[in-house]
Amino acid sequence: MKILQINEIRKAYFLKAFGREPEDMLIISMGACNYNCSYCKRDGQFKGNGNSILNAYDVAMDEIFGVIDKHITAGHRIRLSGGDPCMFPSESLQIAKYCWNKHGQKISLAHNGSSPSLICTLLPYLDYVAIDFKGATPEEIARRSNTLVNPASIGNIMQIIDMCQQTGVLVDIRTVIFGDTDTDDLGSIGHKLSAYNNVFWTLRKYNPVIGCDFLPAENDIRVMADRLSNTYNIPVGYRDKWTECNFYISYQFCA
Ligand code: SF4
């Protein structure tokens, strides 16, 4: 399987809003993606031509299992992450089954929201997931992900949340806020999420990336998080960066 890296630890802070202690996750960052976001990923440009993630390399599954053993023993949750696990469905299932059968651990997953079938297959092995909601309309998702408009894209995300709700899997919905993000569009996402009790909504401020012409947001995202949380009665958070981040949870859900 192609991976970008397999040694990063991040905290699942959003768990706090559901009364769980934030826990460390080992991030298995996969080496291909079906989206082509011009702001990929974090502070750098890592997406290459086609589906490739720059600097991804081949790793044998046995090697991955060895790393997993070490990290589960150290108390870490295993998270499959982007690139995107939907590019490696059979390997993702193999890893999920390994974690469950050998260690009794359900995994976590970060996914761009395009593949209900991936989530359906992995569902029995999932504890919590992070799902991208990159825009309120198929056109907006296509623009942010630099792909063709897929009329089913919003339906796909909602189908994923539905499946997770029915099986008790917690969902951290992630939306990057740009300078031209429309407030009404955010309201439309908030309205959809308000039908669920297993959903947390993480807003991320866009940090400019060389070669990407999206404008950075000027707003105070914490104020935005509180407002959306109040309006739609769902927990909303703000994450300023991936590692060593400040993580803010809307005040009425942070106790
Ligand atoms: S979905 Fe994530 S990994 Fe894929 S291109 Fe977009 S930012 Fe990069």
% pLDDT > 90, the chain? 73
Q: What is the pLDDT of residues 39-96, one digit of tens each?
A: 886 444 576 667 778 888 999 999 999 999 999 999 999 999 988 999 999 999 999 9
pTM as predicted: 0.94
- Return the DSSP state at 152: T
Question: What is the rounded distance in angstroms from the CA atom of residue 110 to the CA atom of residue 130?
Answer: 4
CATH 3.20.20.70 fits 2-253, yes or no: yes
Please work out whether the CB of residue 52 comes within 6 Å of at least one atom of ligand 1: no
Please work out whether the CB of residue 84 comes within 6 Å of at least one atom of ligand 1: yes
Helix axes 183-193, 221-232, angle to 10 degrees: 40
Q: What is the pLDDT of residues 17-30, one digit of tens each?
A: 999 999 999 999 99
Q: Residue 239's beta-bridge partner residues?
A: 204, 247
Q: Residue 204's beta-bridge partner residues?
A: 176, 239
CB atoms within 10 A of CB 162: 14
Mean pLDDT on 206-229: 87
Please work out whether the CB of residue 34 comes within 6 Å of at least one atom of ligand 1: no
Q: Please choose from 28, 29, 34, 35 the residue to mutate so as to test ligand 1's pocket, defined by most ligand atoms within 8 A of CB.
A: 35
Q: Please choose from 4, 47, 157 the residue to mutate so as to test ligand 1's pocket, defined by most ligand atoms within 8 A of CB.
A: 47
- Domain map (residue ranges) of the chain: 2-253
Q: What is the pLDDT of residues 37-47, one digit of tens each?
A: 888 864 445 76
- Give the model's pLDDT for residue 44: 42
